[in-house]
Amino acid sequence: MKRSDIPLNRYASTFVKEARLRRHLSQDQMAELLNISARCYQTFEEGRCGIGGQTLCRLLVLLTEDERNAFVNGLLTEVWPF
């Protein structure tokens, strides 16, 4: 993983974990919703790897409008505050 990706991975994995917990889902259940393996999801949630484009699209569909807005706003303020 590139050093420049670390803040993005940390932010995204924390956000997704919180969304999963709000829905009272296990890691296995969230992985199934995202159509990825449970192991892949676990490594993502731990911040050890990034999330792929297709998985990100599935995630955005699962989020509520408020959650999507919060996710993007967090990217703008916490990850890439220009």
pLDDT per position as a tens digit, 19-70: 999 999 999 999 999 999 999 999 999 988 898 999 999 999 999 999 999 9
Give the Cα separation of 2 and 82 in Å (integer): 20
pTM of the model: 0.88
If pLDDT is split at 50, 70 and 90, which confidence band does 80 have? confident
41 with 16: CB under 8 angstroms? Answer: no
| Complete domains list, the chain, with CATH | 3-79 (1.10.260.40)
Measured from the Cβ of residue 13, the count of other Cβ atoms closer than 10 Å reads 20
5 pLDDT above the threshold of 90: no
User: Identity (one letter) of the amino acid at 9?
Assistant: N
Q: Is the pLDDT at 1 greater than 90, yes or no?
A: no
Per the model's pLDDT, the better-predicted residue between 81 and 22 turns out to be 22
Q: How many CB atoms lie within 10 A of CB 70?
A: 15
C-alpha angle 3-8-11 in degrees, rounded to nearest 5: 130
The pLDDT value given to residue 18: 97
d(CA 61, CA 78): 22
